[in-house]
Chain A
Amino acid sequence: MSGGALPGLPPADMLLVLAVILPLFGLLPLLLLGSRLAERLTLLVLAAGLAVALGIGAEVAAAGQAATAFIGGWRPPLGVGLRADGLSAVMLVMTAVVLCATGLYAMTGPATPRAAGERMPTAFWMLLLCVWSALNLVFVAEDLFTLYVALELLTFAAVPLVCLDGKEGQIEAALRYLVFALFGSVLYLLGTVLIYALYGTLDIILAARRASVSPGLVVALAAMTAGMMAKAALFPLHLWLPPAHSGAPPAASAMLSAVVIKAPIFLLVRFWLDLAPESLAVKVGPILAGLGAAAILMCSLVALAQHRLKLLIAYSTAAQIGYLFLMFPLAAAASAWSALAWTGGALHLASHAFSKAAMFMAAGLIAEAVGHDRIKGLTGLGRALPVSVAAFGLGGLSLMGLPPAGGFVAKVMLLSAAVHLGNWWIALVILIGGLLAGGYVLRVVVPALQRPAAPLALRPVAGWREWVALALALVAVGLGFVPLEPSAYLAIGRPASWAEGAP
């Protein structure tokens, strides 16, 4: 077992495995016991999972190097390795916080009758747990085929979440999502096969050491990248996302838009910044950034034209992931500024997760209270549902990139890196994207703060659910107080230091 453990904590390799398997144990009570008791037990599992994620974060920080585990004691290339570097640890903690909040938000109060029967709550909790296990595996697996299994686990958990209400439009959206996701997985697998054919290993670190630019590697990375773009809904493959993310129940939308969509993007970072030779990454970065810029501009404009709140938020997701692709040419360049771009990209990823989860939760509560989510009918809502509207507004603040929110600092980092690296067009896109985001957020917030023409008839919503949404939005804003410099934590275990951990 690896050393460097903090006193009182299990060793890091055990925590890495627990991050993947602990959520699965929640399936047992859900399938064998009644749903209400099982729901309480699930919350316990969620709390334990949060503790595991924080433990990994602490151990990585204390050791100053990546945590590793080898399944069954078999080391790569024969065995499967798990590894959490600084970025993985941040993703683990971010996912744990968002999913725990989602669990609290989705929990039924003790007085709520189970009108809908046992299906919805039980299925929802099982899918949430599997989403968590799959995401954690995506963040820590070092093996390309294990990542394939993780991606499929994620797909099969995410697709039924879209259509839990069982309505025709949702099932249509789920089916389209499934086809895109499967297409993405099989392309990813094709790339994995080619990497094995070239280098005889599936371990990312070993493959990266052996990798050199060759036609085979280019085809492999192209297939894997195309697959991840389909899964991340990067323009022009984004059409499946808005109906799927907006049609799902609000707790599911929050999960899908905040964290599930981040898995393929995280893997693209792994492929292009960890696996690919730098000379290749520098050439491909601008292409990815170009698609990201198109996503920001096109999807923001479409978001401006939406009439339904949840569709607006979903198009905003399709636009916001564009920023993460702007990071690639900046972070791949060998320059002092690329570390700043790298930190900015990771920060944007995290702050988007918190703000988007808050916004979808708030939108769900608004729809529950008002009975619809047509943006025109939300005038004056600020007085009736102040907490939810504040959660939506603060989340939106971060999307717009206004100070002091996390989105602001992230965009400033990306912007300064872009300017110093001479990528003026990227800087311009960041600025225009911020203005457009301001447009679609204010379209909702400004009327909501006005006096309503007629008093709104509202159904009651549970107050604590509003506070969960607001708490997430406040986390997104709080991220704005991180120092404006490259983060040392995110640099832990990055490729530059791979040489030291040679097996």
Chain B
Amino acid sequence: MSAETLFGLAAAALCAIGIYGLMVGRGALARLIAFNLLGGGVFVLFGVVARRGAGAGFGGDPVPQALVITGIVVAFSATALGAALVERLAQLRAKGGAPSEEPEADT
């Protein structure tokens, strides 16, 4: 088996673990972690595609490699937003669900 196939199968397994985690995760934070695992698997798969496309003097196809960099940064943005939501929710719940500082508008 070639290294690319090995990493490709590992990426498939990582995706599967991530999807399992997303489905059974307890709480939003667990799901955020699972989302990142799944994302990691997808990125590695893209890396395998890039490595298979090595040529023209490059160790891998630079287009997918560049896109993975973009993807990692986007995934981080998602995690940051999700984490802030989790924290705010915990904060409001700790107050007993009666936020005093918010304008009350019954909509």
Contacts and interface: CB of A to CB of B under 8 A. Distances in A.
Q: Are A and B direct contacts in the complex by CB distance below 8 Å?
A: yes
Interface of A: 78, 115-116, 145, 148-149, 152, 155-156, 159-160, 163, 165-168, 171-172, 174-176, 178-179, 182-183, 185-186, 189-190, 193, 196-197, 200, 249-250, 310, 364, 367-368, 371-373
Interface residues of B, number: 38
B107 A186 contact: no
B46 A165 contact: no
B22 A183 contact: yes
Interface string B52-67: 1100000000011001
A175 B29 CA distance: 10
A274 B8 CA distance: 29
Contacts of B103: 115-116, 165
B74 A149 contact: yes
Contacts, number: 97
B16 to A, nearest CB: 12
Given A183-B22, A193-B42, A372 B70 contact: no
A160 B89 CA distance: 13
Tell me which of A167, A168, A174 has the highest count of chain B C-beta atoms within 10 A of its own C-beta. A168
Interface of B: 15, 18, 22, 28, 31-32, 35, 38-39, 42, 45-46, 49, 52-53, 63-64, 67, 70-71, 74, 77-78, 81-82, 85-86, 88-89, 92-93, 97, 99, 102-103, 105-107
Contact of A364 (B15, B77, B107): B107
A186 B35 contact: yes
25 contacts: A116-B103, A145-B67, A145-B70, A149-B74, A152-B77, A159-B85, A163-B85, A165-B102, A165-B107, A168-B93, A175-B82, A178-B81, A178-B82, A179-B28, A179-B31, A179-B32, A179-B35, A185-B78, A189-B39, A190-B15, A190-B42, A193-B45, A196-B49, A197-B52, A372-B106
A317 B64 CA distance: 37
Contact of A367 (B53, B97, B106): B106
B46 A171 contact: no
B53 A200 contact: yes
A182 B89 CA distance: 19
Contacts of A166: 88, 99, 102
Contacts of B97: 168
A51 B12 CA distance: 47
Contacts of B77: 152, 156
A155 to B, nearest CB: 8
A193 B49 CA distance: 8
A371 B106 contact: yes
A174 B84 CA distance: 11
Contacts of A159: 81, 85
A373 B107 CA distance: 7
Contacts of A182: 35, 78, 82
Contact of B105 (A165, A186, A189): A165
B88 A171 contact: yes
A398 B82 CA distance: 37
A175 to B, nearest CB: 5
Contacts of B107: 165, 249-250, 310, 364, 367-368, 373
Given A148-B74, A196-B63, 6 more contacts: A156-B81, A163-B85, A171-B89, A172-B89, A193-B42, A193-B45
